[in-house]
Amino acid sequence: MRWSKTVTVVGAHAEGEVGRVITGGVIDIPGKTMLEKMVYLNSEDDSIRRFTLFEPRGSAQMSVNLLLPPTRPEADAGFIVMQPDAAHSMSGSNAMCVATVLLETGMLPMREPETKVVLDTPAGLVDAVATCRDGKVEKVTLDLYPSFVEHLAHPLEVEGYGTLEVDVAYGGVYFAMVDAKAVGFAITPAEARDMVDLGMRITTAAKAQIEVAHPEIPALNAIGYTMFCGREAAPGGNLKGGTVIHPGRMDRSPCGTGTAARLAQLHARGELEVGQRVTQLSTIDSRFDAEIVGLTTVGNRPAVLPRISGRAWIYGLYQLGVDPSDPYPLGYTMSDTWGPGVAAE
């Protein structure tokens, strides 16, 4: 065997959503901050993203997290979420995977019953508290960035559907949030294909028709995903959330940044108070527990301070490589898996 490149990866998932973690083979990425490093990946050199996510080494149904030295002295580690379309500023489920991998592999020391890990991300610092017992991370609790609502009941024209209303909220990424019941969904696995079809059209329409402007981080001024929002049928039932992400699939977890955005949405609508705990279920009924722990402002916007808890598990160890004669050193995509309009790369 002869490889011209070797990357070590730990396989992990948080509540069903795959978030692999690169632990070796990449020393650093140019940039003074994590945000600059993310922009570099997206605008200058995305070869590590394509190498780890495109077929045959990766797939559309995952994220890969790039561990990097922190750029801020108060942080323990830095990471950037890489997904099939681009590198992104933050993901709650991926932060849970990263914290679990850092501690369970011994990259950072584990202290029981709790270990605090400060993560440096393109959107800012994230405090992660891991509940630990017998060498295992049993739960990761994230204090995420201030989350806020940008628009409530914004009309949107969606191709093939007509007009619907969306709320737009920021939880580390901007979400177009749709009442699932109003568009006929109960957020179940059997509806996944139909939710993806409509959700991708909603995202496309929202990007074109709705302006967003983060008061402090202009590089994040784009709607990233659509979340279908619902509740269990029983009185006082749990929240349900189905997030549609590129290239056209459902997030298997309840979506951490989406849950943060939903806390902001519910508070803005007068449906959730500070300190009130809720559980959000995913399409496969995995769960994140969440609460608003305080109020703040972002620029001139009222915002909430979200806290999200969930579980992650390590499921594999990998070394990814490329033979110099391999005709697909950075992989490829095809529309059968990656969605309509995707050209082979």
Q: Would you call 59 a catalytic residue per the annotation?
A: no
Q: Which amino acid is at 68?
A: L
Compute the distance between CA of residue 335 and CA of residue 342 in angstroms, rounded to an integer.
5
Instruction: Tell me how far apart the alpha carbons of residues 73 and 248 are, in angstroms, rounded to a whole number.
Output: 38
Angle between helices 256-268 and 92-104 (to 10 degrees): 140
What distance in Å separates the CA atoms of residue 153 and residue 262, rounded to the nearest whole number? 14
Please state the separation of Cα 26 from the chain's center in Å: 22
- Choosing from 91, 93, 147, 309, the catalytic residue is 91
Residue 331, token pair as written in the block: 């992989």
With a CB cutoff of 8 Å and minimum separation 6, the contacts of 154 are 165, 166, 167, 168, 210
DSSP 203-217: HHHHHHH-----SS-
Helix, strand or coil, per DSSP, at residue 48? helix
Calpha distance 289→306 (Å, rounded): 11
Residue indicated by tokens 């009130």:
276
Angstrom distance (rounded) from CA 123 to CA 172: 7
Buried b (16+ CB within 10 A) or exposed e, 274-291: eeeebbbbbbbebbbbbb
**CA 34 from centre of chain:** 16
Q: Catalytic residue positions? A: 91
